[in-house]
Every structure is written in structure tokens, then in C-alpha cells.
Amino acid sequence: MNWKNKLVILLLGALLTAIFAISPDYCEAAAPEIEWEKTLGGNVAYSVQQTADGGYVVAGGAYITKLDSSGTVEWKKTLGGSGANSVQQTADGGYVVAGIINDTGAFIYSAWVAKLDSSGATVEWEKTLGGNGAYSVQQTADGGYVVAGDTDGGAFIYSAWVAKLDSSGATVEWEKTLGGNRINSVQQTADGGYVVASSIFSPSSGEEAWVAKLDSSGTVEWDKTLANSERATSVQQTVDGGYVVAGGVDVSAAWVAKLNSSGTVEWDKPLGGNGAYSGAYSVQQTADGGYVVAVYRSYPSSGAYVVKLAPDEPGTPNQPDNPNTSDNPGGGGGGCITGDLLFAIPLLSLIFVLYGWKNKIRN
């Protein structure tokens, strides 16, 4: 085969590669980029939610902080509990807060829930619950509240715990103990059930992030382990019926993942890199289709940060940005190829081979 024939084959191969790369039938879900981040006065931010005015409310330590849409602090309130772990704006414009309280003076802690007015200045009611600690709360469609955390099973063994309260916060309608460790996040889903984020331990793989879908009475419908993170600290249902999850890997990396409606990973993304963010504690989808994440930063200076991620890039589900997940064992590059393209690639390759063989005979 002379050099002209070789050049023709090379150009045809390059053309095929280009067609494959730009084809709308090949696609990959890209992880979003950071839009802005802010330093807050507290040591840590455990929870963040976008509010009705387009701003954000953040909970962490003893503080509840209200931000405007660009992240500027509007007001901050110190609460009497031992720690505020979760906050959500309620239908009346106020806020419900969940955390831990020590009201005995001994080393005994209880789950605690409080309702604030819209200015954050007045505590309308508060309640101590039977759990060991409350780490997530949400107002439900019936005006009540779902609270999740952990409960002490004795011998320093803690189990995932979730409870449903009425609208006054006075009555526990039901409560459940689940198979995971402490529940860090709970949200009511569009079907009236709930999704929870936690972690679970197995002797073979150690600690892994764990997400479970519950029905309206708290019974588990499905659960998933996520191998790229050791803990899932926040989960929310997204507008497409899937879920966005935030967490961390040991103490060195914050992490965000997007799941579809059945719990399969679409993409996952580490934040910060090089230990810059030690963990992501809360995530929520924003009105523009992006995400806002509350994180703790340990390098180069420690403190609470809020990170805004841009909306998802166009792509096809089930293609993680970092594909080493329990839903894609062994990794791989991701992407999707239709049947037409799968047929075209070997057909064109055969043409190249026959073309080269023909010229070899001539030479």
C-alpha cells in the first residue's frame, strides 16, 4: 500500500472519529461548575435551603443565618439548643429547625425541633423527641413535620430513626428505626413518601453512603449504597423526579451526586479538591436548575462556605462524571451510543479493511 492510500485511510478514520464525537446519539452528563461561594461567621454550615424571596437560610452550630440571593447576610440568630443541624422555610414564611439539645445537665442528648417566625426572632414552639439527635426536618404536605436522626440502641450502638409530627409539633404520629446509621437528611417526595440519606457499614466495603426511599408510613421501598462517598449527609428530590445527594469521603473531600428516580447514579462530583472542602452537609436544587451546597472548608483556612453549582449540562442519565460507583462497578468513561451508530462503526471498519486488502493485492 503506497503512502497515498495510507493517507486516505487515515483521513477516513479521523472523519469517523469526529462523527462519533459530535453525534447527538453519543452523550455524557457533565458535572456543574461553581458560580459563587461565601464565608460565614460560624464554624460549620450543616443545612441550606433557598427561600421564597430567592435568598437562602443556613443552619450550623448554634446559628441560623439568612442570606440574600447573592450570599450577603441579612440576619443571624443564636438558638438555645446545643446545635442546629437542619432548617427549612415553612408555608407561613417562618422556619422549622431540628437539632440536639442537652436539657438535663448530664451527658444525655435528645432530638429537638423548634418553629421560628419569619424574622427568626421569635420561637413559636419547641419540642424534645425520643431520638438521640435530630439532623433533618421538613414540613410535610399536610402541614406537619418529618424529623430524622438517630436513636440510641444501647451499648453505644446508634440506629437510623425517623418520626412524623402533626402540625403543632405536639403529637408523634409514627416513628421508625431503619437499618442504616444516623439519618442526616429526610425529604417528603412527590408521591407522599420520603427519601433519606445516611451511611451504612459492611465488613467487605466499610462505610458507604446510603440512600433509601420510604413510603408514606415509613416503610422502605428501595435503598442504594454509593461507593464514591463514605457518607450521605443531604438528599433532595429534583424536578425531574430524581435525587441530588451530598456527602463526603473520609475527612478530605466534599462530594455531590445526582441520582435518577430509582437511585441510579447519573453523575457525581468532588468539590474543592486537595482537601479544600472537608465535607458537604446540605444540598438543594435552585430555581435555575442548579444546586446550592453548604460545606465545611479546612484548607487554606477553616470555616463555613456556601457553594453554588450551575445547572446540569445536557446529557443522558446513567453516566457518572466519576464512574466508579456501585451502579457502575469497575468504572468506565460513560456516554451513550445508539444502535445505528453501533452498526455503523463495524461496517465502516470493514470497508477500511477491504480497501486496504484490495490495495495490498494491487501492490
- Nearest of 61, 124, 49 to residue 87 by alpha carbon: 49
Give the tens place of pLDDT for each residue, 323-351: 333 333 222 333 333 333 333 444 444 44
> Which of 75 and 32 is assigned the larger pLDDT?
75
SS3 of residue 117 by DSSP: coil
Average pLDDT for 150-173: 81
Buried b (16+ CB within 10 A) or exposed e, 87-121: bbbbeeebbbbbbbbeeeeeeebbbbbbbbeeebe
**Inter-CA distances, 198 with 133, 135, 148, 215, Å:** 14, 11, 10, 17
Cell triple for residue 47?
A: 443545612
Measured in degrees and rounded to the nearest 5, phi and psi for residue 362 equal -60, -35
Q: Let me know how long the chain is.
A: 363
Measured in degrees and rounded to the nearest 5, phi and psi for residue 330 equal 90, -10
> Which of 15 and 284 is assigned the larger pLDDT?
284
Give the tens place of pLDDT for each residue, 236-281: 999 999 999 988 766 567 888 899 998 888 888 877 655 556 678 7
pTM for the model stands at 0.65
Give the tens place of pLDDT for each residue, 1-28: 555 555 555 555 545 444 444 443 333 3
CA 344 from centroid of its chain's CA atoms: 38
Per-residue pLDDT at 29 exceeds 50: no
